[in-house]
Structure 1
């Protein structure tokens, strides 16, 4: 057996589409940042609002979405069980989450699929009234890597117009379901976004360069993410979610240095909107609020606070 010479490469292949990889980042000495009220840890709760925009036979896609409570699949016709699970998120789950956020008086960011807000305008009205952020999460909840560059450009454009119409404000942040090698270029090309979150490679925002322009990345995380209740090796009970969230916050507050970092929590109304899981979320919020060095912030506020303290490079 002989290995392909490609196996022995030490660097990435030149001229591969998409952003270059960076395996170094801030290294041992990240910038010292502080968040709202001089907090050391910024907790950023994301509500992935996608219900009604997912792939389905009902929407003419000829396929059903697969993120479901049980490992069953209907391949050649409408899957009414999956559809009804998504309906639960829009009908009941989202309002349970809003009640928790209202009781705790905390702001959140919505990764909002535009069509989902169009199909339930009361949700768009509520998040706008609360002052929550609606970041772009696609026109529909679809994979951008399946699109051509022109198709993706059009999908981003339509998402912006739709979200601005339903919430009264243009999105200034972006996060795909699954990005393409063109996504960041197109986000920067569009020029109205302050940041994107299409990466999982840091605990702190960072600047990057796209087509000669500075662009801010506010990373996301899939660790404290309720999708782990239903996919992969994830949470078997709400206690696992609570324990993971608590351990994440405890470590970030005492991480061995004086660096301020962010903690991302990803939620879906159809998942954490269920009572037992919502209870774990509410208990974690109560736990976190007892600390003076912790702040709950919208993603756009984290971006702006970081940019104040770590301005974009000038060279």
Structure 2
């Protein structure tokens, strides 16, 4: 069976430096028992695999009669009152429960905050920052910003920044668009507003640097594979299946991390990831992952700062 390493070697596609790197790693034994020292080339402080956790703070910022587990059959002119309580669970129970879990493991996460959600629960937003987590921007409200004019979009993004700053005292440097659907002008606007990175990219399992407005701008990729809103709330997975998904993703990336930079992303939403079963699943995954050497958890602003300094 021809491996990609052999294919590149035999066809001469890869450069000599790349071949030396791959061959050197192969000699050490890529896999569960590979030399942990190899990962020092790719992350600071000898880390082998970086895991970045997102905690979406959206509840309270949703539009009237927003999507929910309930049938979308409300008659016009009426409020979906049980759906509103489903969202309220996010700030009443979900985020507080997740914050305690992060503390238990000493993990710092990135919280993508919707401006209107933060303004309705400023004390909780402030607590997130006081407990050492990153406050990132997630728009002013749930809107299709890709359809906005450039001026409208810039105000929309900046209004969300100001809401987060007002509530927490922190100025966001990272951005996540609603359902990742940024527009043609979004990155240029983010660069102009002083952002360092965005996450609306699924193309890689590692951070990288792109050029926006002639300047470097970081991309810290997001996930839909390890994302509770798609897998659990999307009715595809139960909490135990989500746990198994995380373990399988981790095992593969950990093996690959012997020979190249790898980042694992996990996304939890306030009203979903903060449920008892999901927090229990997350707890078991953290216990599993932290048994391996060289596994570290990083906020996305930390990852962006480092990758920008590396320049690649």
The equivalences for 1:172-191 within 5 A come to 172-177=173-178, 178-190=181-193
1:146 CA drift (Å): 3.3
Give the counterpart of 2:53 among 23, 39, 45.
45
Check the 8 A contact 1:208/1:217 in 2, yes or no. yes
SS class of match (2:190): helix
CA distance in 1, matches of 2:43, 2:74: 47
Q: Is the aligned partner of 1:215 residue 2:220?
A: no
CA distance in 2, matches of 1:161, 1:256: 38
Q: Quote the residue 2:84 is aligned against.
A: 83
CA distance in 2, matches of 1:286, 1:222: 22
1:211 CA drift (Å): 2.6
Check the 8 A contact 1:51/1:89 in 2, yes or no. yes
Q: Quote the residue 1:248 is aligned against.
A: 249
Q: Is the aligned partner of 1:224 residue 2:226?
A: yes
The equivalences for 1:135-214 within 5 A come to 135-177=136-178, 178-190=181-193, 192-214=194-216
1:34 CA drift (Å): 3.3
Check the 8 A contact 1:197/1:217 in 2, yes or no. yes
Q: Quote the residue 1:297 is aligned against.
A: 298
Q: Quote the residue 2:119 is aligned against.
A: 118
Q: Quote the residue 1:13 is aligned against.
A: none
SS class of match (2:271): coil
**Aligned Cα root-mean-square deviation (Å):** 2.2
User: For each residue in 1:44-91, what CA deviation from the matched residue of structure 2 results, as whole angstroms up to 9, or x when unmatched?
Assistant: 0000110111111xxxxxxx221x224444252311122111001111
Check the 8 A contact 1:49/1:116 in 2, yes or no. yes
Moved more, 132-141 or 146-155: 146-155
1:271 CA drift (Å): 0.5
Mark the runs of 5 or more structure 1 residues left unpaired by the alignment: 1-26, 57-63
1:161 CA drift (Å): 1.3
Distance 1:255 1:71, change over 3 A: farther
CA distance in 2, matches of 1:167, 1:302: 21
Check the 8 A contact 1:106/1:296 in 2, yes or no. yes
Check the 8 A contact 1:200/1:220 in 2, yes or no. yes
- How many residues of Structure 1 are paired with residues of Structure 2 in the alignment? 274
CA distance in 2, matches of 1:75, 1:301: 46
The alignment's TM-score, normalised by the length of structure 2, stands at: 0.82
Q: Which runs of 4+ in 1 moved over 6 A?
A: 27-32
Higher percent of residues as helix: 2
The equivalences for 1:8-87 within 5 A come to 34-35=42-43, 37-56=45-64, 64-66=65-67, 68-74=68-74, 76=76, 77-87=78-88
Check the 8 A contact 2:209/2:307 in 1, yes or no. no
User: For each residue in 1:231-273, what CA deviation from the matched residue of structure 2 results, as whole angstroms up to 9, or x when unmatched?
Assistant: 26x31x1111100101111111102751121111010110111
SS class of match (1:156): helix
SS class of match (1:193): coil
CA distance in 1, matches of 2:258, 2:122: 45
